[in-house]
Amino acid sequence: MRTEVCETFGIEFPLFAFSHCRDVVAAVTNAGGLGVLGAVAYTPDRLDEELRWIDEHVGGRPYGVDVLVPAKIDESARRAGRGEGGLDTMLAAVPAEHWSFLQGLFARYDVPLPDFERARRGNARGAGTQVTPEGATALIDVSLAHPIALIASALGTPPAVMVERAHGADVPVAALVGTAEHARRQVAAGVDLIVAQGGEAGGHTGEISTMVLVPEVVDTVAPVPVLAAGGIATGRQLAAALALGASGAWCGSVWLTTEEAETPPAVKEKMLAATSRDTVRSRSRTGKPARQLRSAWTDEWEGPDSPGALGMPLQMIIAEGAMRQITKVAESGNPGARALANYFVGQCVGQMNAVKPARQVVYDMMREFAEALDRLGALAAD
């Protein structure tokens, strides 16, 4: 294909695959798309290790990195990121009632608690200090030390340091947006590629649907290229995205049920059985609205006894360690853990009904895309 992003990045198919799994990233890149590694809460050393593995497995083909640099975080986390008080400062910012609620939740669902103090400090070290401007800057530097073709800002306008360092290395910057106004601000900040992500998407997302958002953003930022995101899992949907003016698609959820995916087996099983109605936007995992599988976890945090989700990254300190334990116990068949288990996923989960290799997903989308074009061409000919 010859869309603008295909020519810019030297890819055969305008499909960008966001995944936390390096195997998926490499598989999609090698199949003709562009894999993008989500580096949320990575340490610099861990990210360097993952990128070295990708370098060795893509043979010089293009791939990217997505770094979470939130514009708004809890001030205690910001101080900890600057070295002012460290983990103790961050842990002290989590109210006791939230820890009590979490302990009660485990008890009600008969899920054994891990070593609680060790888990709390580990969560603060990972989910907390890495999701700060200081932590993200270190990940940006690691990313740019590798031959990446793209760096993306997953949440909010990228800081000037990200744009400056990326452009200094001749690496384009992408950013996700949920409104036309967000897109306008991103372009003003120097972003080279806009990802217009509709409310159907998994993870952090707004409320405007992809069908409405994409043409609004395309018209707002032209001639800057736009990728469509949110609810795209088939070649037909990719064809629709291009018809709306996008130059390609950014897909995340569809890779979660692939053979290579990092998705825990118990959660993958829930996804394969889910319908498009089985997701919810909830602050219960990160502190910001993020679409995920609806489960007992999301229901309990929205329930009348909940103390309410905290801001980012404090809610992550509570949730991510808890979910690791829940997922681990769910694999043993524990019914309470299986009820609580969930993961970020979009409404297209209702179309994710079979486990396939990531490469096959790409090929299926290419075939469906060609069939959609033929169908539209036949209508025009008539």
Predicted confidence (pLDDT) per residue in 158-203, tens digit: 888 899 999 999 999 999 999 999 999 999 999 999 999 999 999 9
Please state the rounded mean pLDDT for residues 273-280. Answer: 98
Regarding whether 179 and 37 lie in a shared domain, the answer is: yes
Per the structure block, which two tokens stand in for 70? 């939130």
Instruction: Specify the pLDDT at position 155.
Output: 76
| Residues 155 and 51 placed together within one structural domain of the fold | yes
Residues linked to residue 344 through DSSP beta bridges, in sequence order: 292
Q: For residue 116, what pLDDT is reported?
A: 64
- Integer Cα distance of 325 and 44 in angstroms: 24
Residue 349 lies in a domain: no
Same domain? 177 vs 245: yes
Same domain? For 16 and 117 the reply is no
Residue 43's pLDDT is what? 87
Q: In this structure, is residue 42 part of a structural domain?
A: yes
Using DSSP bridges, classify how beta strands 279-282 and 290-293 pair: parallel, antiparallel or unpaired: antiparallel
- Euclidean distance between CA atoms 312 and 167, whole angstroms: 28
Whether residues 84 and 47 share a domain: the answer is: no
Q: Please determine, for residue 40, whether its predicted confidence score (pLDDT) is greater than 90.
A: no
Report pLDDT for 133. 60
Verify that 93 and 110 share a domain, yes or no.
yes
Average pLDDT, the chain: 91
pLDDT at residue 45 tops 80: yes
Residues 322, 329: contact at Cβ < 8 Å?
no
Same domain, yes or no, for 43 and 141? yes
CATH of the domain at 10: 3.20.20.70
> Which residues, in sequence order, are bridge partners of residue 243?
none
Q: What is the pLDDT of residues 350-367, one digit of tens each?
A: 999 999 999 999 999 999
Residue whose C-alpha is closest to residue 20's, from 45, 44, 47: 47
- Residue 231 has a CB neighbour count (10 Å cut-off) of 28
Average pLDDT estimate for 19-36: 98
C-alpha–C-alpha distance, residues 245 and 96, integer Å = 50
Check residue 134 and give its pLDDT: 67
User: What integer pLDDT is reported at residue 126 of this predicted model?
Assistant: 53
Mean pLDDT of 336-363: 97
Number of domains in the chain: 2
Cis peptide before 44 (omega within 30 of 0): no
CA angle 287, 34, 32 (to 5 degrees): 150
SS (H, E, C) the chain: CCCHHHHHHCCCCCEEEEECCHHHHHHHHHCCCEEEEECCCCCHHHHHHHHHHHHHHHCCCCEEEEECCCCCCCHHHHHHHCCCCHHHHHHHCCCHHHHHHHHHHHHHCCCCCCCHHHHHHHHHHHHHCCCCHHHHHHHHHHHHCCCCCEEEECCCCCCHHHHHHHHHCCCCEEEEECCHHHHHHHHHCCCCEEEEECCCCCEECCCCCHHHHHHHHHHHHCCCCEEEECCCCCHHHHHHHHHCCCCEEEECHHHHHECCCCCCHHHHHHHHHCCCCCEEEECCCCCCCEEEECCHHHHHHCCCCCCCCCCCCHHHHHHHHHHHHHHHHHCCCCHHHHHHCCCECCHHHHHCCCCECHHHHHHHHHHHHHHHHHHHHHHHHC
The pLDDT of residue 6: 97
* Position 297 in a domain: yes
In a domain, 31, yes or no: yes
- Report yes or no on 141 lying in a domain: yes
pLDDT of the residue at 81? 46
**350 lies in a domain?**
no
> Strand 226-229 vs strand 193-197: parallel, antiparallel, or unpaired?
parallel
CA 73 from centroid of its chain's CA atoms: 18
Let me know whether 270 and 164 are in one domain.
Answer: no
Percentage, residues of the chain above pLDDT 70: 90
User: Is the pLDDT score of 312 beyond 90?
Assistant: no
Same domain, 150 and 225: yes
Looking up tokens 């008969």, which residue turns up? Answer: 110
Under 8 Å between Cβ of 283 and 315: yes
Residue 347 lies in a domain: no
pLDDT of residue 71 exceeding 60, the answer is: no
For residue 279, the enclosing domain spans: 75-129+264-340
Residue 174, strand partner residues: 152, 193
What are the pLDDT digits (tens) for 283-294?
A: 999 999 999 999
Summarised one tens digit per residue, pLDDT across range 191-243 is: 999 999 999 999 999 999 999 999 999 999 999 999 999 999 999 999 999 99
348 within domain boundaries:
no
